[in-house]
Amino acid sequence: MYKYNAFDAAFLAERNAQFRAQVGRRIDGSLTEDEFKPLRLMNGVYLQLHAYMLRVAIPYGTLNSAQMRALALLAEKWDKGYGHFTTRQNIQYNWPKLNDIPDMLDALGEVGLHAIQTSGNTIRNTTADHFAGAAADELTDPRPYAELIRQWSTDHPEFQFLGRKFKIGITGSPNDRAVVKAHDVGLRMVEQNGEIGFEVIVGGGLGRTPMVGKVICDFLPQADLLPYLEAVLSVYNVLGRRDNKYKARIKITVQENGIEKIRDLVEARFAERRREFDGTDQALLAEIKTHFTPPALRTGNTDAYQAAYDADPVFRAWADTNLAEHRNSAHAIVTISIKAHGATPGDASAAQMRAMADLAEELGYDELRISHQQNVILPHVHKSDLPALHARLKEQGLATANIGLISDIIACPGMDYCALATARSIPVAQEIASRFDDLKLEHDIGHLQIKISGCINACGHHHVAHIGILGLDRAGVENYQITLGGDATETAAIGKRTGPGFAYDEIVPAVERLIEAYLTLRSDAEETFLETYRRLGMEPFKTVLYPEAQKKVA
Amino acid sequence: MARPFTPKVITANDLLEGDVIYFMADDSWTRDLAQAELIEDEAEAQLRLLAAEKQNIRIVGAYLADAKAGPSGPEPVHFREDFRRKGPSNYSHGKQEAEAHV
């Protein structure tokens, strides 16, 4: 993975020193809050309901063990002993003190991590497929390009004051695990005539106006990535609306102007921009790529794995749900669920973070990933090590076998923490997970994604959930709307609202009715919830959600 | 027709801790909503907000929040203010944690 060079380290140290001075000037009264707020946001510092929040970027979701230990140190030394992994592959600390934040940033800097541009109207952390570099279906590792984008976009003078935030997602696989179609720019690596390049998707996004991105360029040569991104951003920077915050994202710019006009403008700008690139970016990319050389995977038989799989039903259940296919058949990609039933989705304690760091170092070639689904991944584990790994995960409460199942819920922090939220998300997720664990139904239900947002901004990705839940404030009371049929993969789709919302104490029973209906309606045990919904449509699910309305009609 | 004025408290966050604070009648701040000044008059509320904002060197984001009189002092009207008063529901952190230590 990428290692900071002298320039990177000096840049970050200087930036942290600047922020330390800015914090000092806010505290001594030299800066007003209006002056300080944009400065703190550029460094990932929010003020939430109960406290400050520090959002640390995990670039393209990749960490090594030293970095994970630094995240644990921050949790323990300056927070309440835990961190919250987010849907944008970041980590948030919910309780830092303003005075401590410069020290936290310095500690992060020592391991090559930062909080720069994790907020504000800038280019945010580029998110990537969490199986990047390991997946069997991957064309090529997208992370060197994501690192190139990180270096290019960090402190880029032209793009520090965009009309609104700007999010880029990248995947190197045909199976999209990075939700690239719901990003301002999505990059999907594709092969054409033996050459690998990018399909560029623009104008996707969730929030109050959810949209699936549109293809603006079906094949962009790799070498043109940065000039093309500059062209897209510069067109957006000029054309994007600044009169209305809710119409400022590029998805609205694309919708209002049409993809054809945007494409023409981008192409014209691209012709100009490309001339300004003298090959330095490609030399840099070549250097970055040397940091992403795949680990030398060890050989050896996998008999221990097979023996444990045959003998231990608990291990087998975990292996069936939490392992994914690695490009090397003797290895597996391990997803560690940080969604124990009834726990807060995405929260890991300092002890758990250290345990995962140790496992990565000892058994996982020192690599970890954070997924947008708020889990932790060990991308390369030899199968013979899996029984030992599973045993050690169990000791830390990290062996929950629920990846892709009903309790593997994405939930934003919601009204429990977030100043923007209109309702709580976390307790709804906790109750759904606990309920279906009690019913012992989740393996029978099979693949199902529930995603919960506590406001219209949709950090919890509810629009692209099979069952999406949106928490709103209806006349001073929490109220939850349900959407069905969303899809976060390469066949991305926005879910449809079922009808009126449900009160806080009605939402879990409503989900239960949906699941009961699905179990009755599915053609066989292999048909997933989403497939059943696509086959039968909304009506049978509405019938069980709103029995009173059905009675009135009858 | 304008909506009738409902009683308010002034609340903000502490600059250093980030913790929720409330403005008291003596122009100082408390972490306990029950100690806050309940303002019943609209014009007075605006004046009191200006007085609170004079202390912007130590506080962040003062605003008027709906409140009602309770047996031991002001109480929240909206659930958002109730969470601000207590802390999150997934852990016993925030003000509820501090109270547990008393």
Tens of pLDDT, residues A84-118 = 999 999 999 999 999 999 999 999 999 999 999 99
Q: How far is B58 from chain A (nearest CA, A)?
A: 8
CA-to-CA dists, residue A94 to A127, A267, B17, angstroms: 22, 43, 12
Residue A72 in contact with residue A56, Cβ under 8 Å? Answer: no
Portions of chain A given CATH number 3.30.413.10: 142-291, 410-553
Cα dihedral sign, A183-A453-A420-B2: positive
Exposed (0-12), middle (13-18) or buried (19+): which is A158, by Cβ within 10 Å? exposed
At A309, which amino acid appears? Y
Q: How far apart are CA A81 and CA A100, in angstroms?
A: 15
- C-alpha closest to that of A380 among A292, A287, A447, A288: A292
Does the CB of A412 have a partner CB in chain B at under 8 Å? no
Residue range A410-553 in CATH 3.30.450.20: no
What average pLDDT is seen over chain A?
97
**Cβ contacts of A532 within 8 Å, gap of 6 or more:** A518, A521, A522, A523
Look-up of token digits 């509810």: A462
Specify the DSSP element, H or E, that contains A472. Answer: strand A467-474
Return the axis-axis angle of helices A303-311 and A313-322, rounded to nearest 10°.
120
What average pLDDT does the segment A327-349 reach? 98
A-B CB pairs within 8 A amount to 71
| Distance between CA atoms of residues A387 and A309, nearest Å | 8
pLDDT tens sequence across A7-33:
999 999 999 999 999 999 999 999 999
Average pLDDT for B85-90? 96
* % of chain A at pLDDT higher than 70: 99
* Residue A422: closest C-alpha in chain B: B80
**pLDDT-based confidence at residue A553 (cuts at 50, 70, 90):** low
Q: Give the ipTM of the model, two decimals please.
A: 0.95
Cα A535 to Cα A3: distance, rounded to the nearest angstrom:
49
A122: Cα within 13 Å, side-chain hemisphere: 25
Which residues in chain A (84-143) have CB-CB distances under 8 A to chain B? 94-99
When pLDDT is averaged across residues B67-90 and rounded to a whole number, the result is: 97
CA-closest candidate to residue A325, choices A138, A127, A553, A144: A138
**Quick one: fold of A142-291?**
Sulfite Reductase Hemoprotein; domain 1 (3.30.413)
Instruction: State the CATH architecture for A6-109.
Output: Alpha-Beta Complex (3.90)
List of long-range contacts for A257-262, beta carbons under 8 Å, 24+ apart: A259/A202, A259/A203, A259/A214, A259/A216, A262/A202, A262/A203, A262/A216, A262/A235
Q: Using CA atoms, how far apart are residues A70 and A414, in angstroms rounded to an integer?
A: 26
Dist. CA A153–CA A144, nearest whole Å: 14
Residues in chain A: 554
Of A53, A33, A51, give the one whose Cα is nearest residue B17.
A51
pLDDT band of residue A123 (cuts 50, 70, 90) is very high
**Interface-testing mutation among A40, A50, A92, A101, with chain B (most B C-beta atoms within 10 A):** A50
CB distance from B24 to chain A under 8 Å? no
Under an 8 A CB cutoff, do B78 and A476 touch?
A: yes
Chain A positions touching B13 (Cβ under 8 A) are 47, 51
A463-489 per-position pLDDT tens digit: 999 999 999 999 999 999 999 999 999
Res. B97: pLDDT tops 90: no
The pLDDT, as a whole number, for residue A209 is: 95
pLDDT (0 to 100) of residue A407: 98
Band of residue A552 on the pLDDT scale cut at 50, 70, 90: low
Is any Cβ of chain B less than 8 angstroms from the Cβ of A180? no
What letter represents residue A401's amino acid? A
pLDDT digits over A132-153, tens only?
999 999 999 999 999 999 999 9
Mean pLDDT of all residues in A234-240:
97
Cβ-based contacts of A476 with chain B (< 8 Å): 77-79
Helix (H, G, I), strand (E, B) or coil at A402: coil
AA identity, residue B92: S
Smallest CA-to-CA distance from A81 within A95, A91, A67 is with A95
Cα A456 from chain centroid?
17
User: Given an 8 Å threshold on Cβ–Cβ distance, is A97 in contact with B16?
Assistant: yes
Written as one letter, the residue type at A79 is D
Taking only the tens place, the pLDDT of each residue in A170-193 is 999 999 999 999 999 999 999 999
Token readout for A44 is 């990932």
Which pLDDT value is given to residue B56?
92
Nearest C-alpha neighbor of A250 from the set A216, A277, A274:
A216
pLDDT band of residue A550 (cuts 50, 70, 90) is: low
Q: What SS3 state is found at A55?
A: strand
Torsions phi, psi of A543, nearest 5?
Answer: -55, -45
Predicted confidence (pLDDT) at residue B99 exceeds the cutoff of 90 = no
Query: Is-contact A163 A236, C-beta < 8 A?
Result: yes
User: What are the residues whose beta carbons fall under 8 Å from the beta carbon of B39, sequence distance 6 or more?
Assistant: B7, B8, B9, B10, B45, B48, B64
Q: A235, A265 in Cβ contact below 8 A?
A: yes
Sign of CA dihedral A155, A144, A90, A98: negative
Residue A554 in this model has a pLDDT that exceeds 60: no
User: What distance in Å separates the CA atoms of residue A375 and residue A359, rounded to the nearest whole number?
Assistant: 15
Residue A329: which pLDDT band, with cuts at 50, 70 and 90?
very high
d(CA A91, CA A78): 14
Mean pLDDT computed over A375-392: 98
Q: Which of B60, B77, B90 sits opposite A33 (nearest CB)?
A: B60
Amino acid identity, residue A460? Answer: G
Mean pLDDT over residues B49-58, rounded? Answer: 96
Region(s) of chain A under CATH 3.90.480.20: 6-109, 308-395
CA dihedral A437, A496, A471, A491 (to 10 degrees): 70
The tokens describing A520, both together, are: 């009755």
Distance from CA of A395 to the nearest CA of B (A): 22
User: Do A308 and A383 meet the contact criterion of CB atoms below 8 Å apart?
Assistant: no
3-class secondary-structure state, position A479: strand
Q: How far is CA B93 from the centre of its chain?
A: 18
DSSP state for residue A326 in the 8-state scheme: B
A223 vs A211: CA distance, rounded Å: 29
Burial A397-415 (b: 16+ CB within 10 A, else e): bbbbbbbbbbbbbbbbbbb
DSSP 8-class letter at A528: -
Quick check: A344 and B90 CB within 8 A?
yes
> pLDDT-based confidence at A549, cuts 50/70/90?
confident
- Could you tell me the pLDDT band of residue B101, with boundaries at 50, 70 and 90? low
Nearest CB to B87: which of A29, A50, A430? A50
CA distance B73 to chain A (A): 21
The pLDDT value given to residue B2: 75
Say yes or no: B87 contacts chain A, CB-CB below 8 A: yes
- Show which of residues 327-346 on chain A sit within 8 Å of chain B, judged by CB atoms: 344
State the CATH class of domain A308-395.
Answer: alpha beta
